[in-house]
Amino acid sequence: MNYFVGIDIGSTTAKAVVVDHEGAILAQTVRRSGYDFAVVARDVFSAVLQQAKIQRVSVMGIVSTGYGRRNVDFTDQQRTEIFCHARGVHHYFPEPVTVVDIGGQDNKVIHLGPGGERLGFTMNRKCAAGTGAFIEEIAYRLDLPLNDLNRMAEEAESEVTIGSFCTVFSCTEILGMARRGIPVADIIKGVFRSVVKRVAEMDSLDGKVVMTGGVVDHNPVVAQMLGEALGRSVETPPHPQAIGALGAALIARDMQEEIKSK
C-alpha cells in the first residue's frame, strides 16, 4: 500500500496527515510549532506514521506547507497554504465554495471554482488582528484558558463591541471593560464578533462558505457567528485545523497520480 503525508508547519501549530492512495485519512496529529520548525516537522511526521502504523518506506510522497514549509528538510515538494487549504476543502466540498481560513497569524479567503481551481484569494494585511494570535493574546491578558472560550461565548447573554483594529489597543479596550465589571463571557463573545468582522471585510464571501483553521476547530461558535453575519449557514469540514495538512497530503497523492498517468 502507498501512503502520502502532508505536513503543515503553521506559526502556532504543526499538523501532519497521512492518506492512502484513495485519499482516505489514516491518521493526523497536531502540536505546538515551538521555535524549531525542523524539529517539530520531524516530530509530527514520526507521530503520524506511528499512529497510522506504517513505515517510512511506504510513504510515496510528502508535501510541506505553512509558514515553516521551507524548514521541512525531508519534504518532496513545498506548496503554499493557499493551495493546500483549497485542495483540502475541495476534498470535502467538490462544488464552488469560498474558503475562510483563520490561522495563527494569517487569515485567508480563497475562492474555488467547480473543479476546485483557485479563482482568487486574499490574505489579511500586515496586521494580525482577527487571527488566532489575537484571540490568544486576549486570553492571555484575561488569564483565561483557551479551551474555555467557546463555551463562554456560547453562554454569553450579551456581547461587547470592540472598536479598535489593533490587537494591543483592543486589549487596552478589553481591560477597561473588565474594570467596569462587564461579564467576561460578553467580552469573549465580542472578541469573536471582532474576528468575524475582520474576516467579512477582507473580501466578498460569495456562495457556499466553508471555514477552516484552528480557531474554528476549537471555537465552532465563530462559524455560527459568521453565518449570522452572512445570513446563511457556514460549513466546516471534519478537523478544520488539519485541512491544510490534508490538502498537502492529497497534493502529494495527486502528483503521484499525475506521474503514473504520463
Binding site for other proteins (CB under 8 A): 67, 79-83, 106, 117-123, 125-126
Grid cell 494585511 is found at 125
Measured from the CB of residue 187, what is the shortest distance to other proteins in angstroms?
29
Smallest separation, CB 168 to other proteins (Å)? 16
Q: What dihedral angle (degrees, nearest 10) is formed by the CA atoms of 52, 57, 60, 65?
A: 70
Report the residue number, 131 or 219, with the smaller CB distance to other proteins: 131
Residue closer to other proteins by CB (options 120, 238) is 120
Q: Which is nearer to other proteins, 175 or 202 (CB)?
A: 202
Distance in Å, CB of 234 to other proteins, minimum: 23
Shortest Cβ 182–other proteins spacing (Å)? 33
User: Shortest CA distance to 240 belongs to which of 69, 53, 91?
Assistant: 91
Q: How far is the CB of 83 from other proteins (least distance, A)?
A: 5
Residue 9, φ and ψ in degrees, nearest 5: -95, 95
* C-alpha 240: how far from chain center: 6
Count the neighbouring beta carbons within 10 Å of the beta carbon of residue 247.
Answer: 29
Burial 47-80 (b: 16+ CB within 10 A, else e): bbbeebebeeeebbbbbbbbbbbebbeebbebbe
Q: Given the complex with other proteins, which of 9 and 225 has the nearer CB atom? A: 9
Nearer to other proteins, 108 or 189 (CB): 108
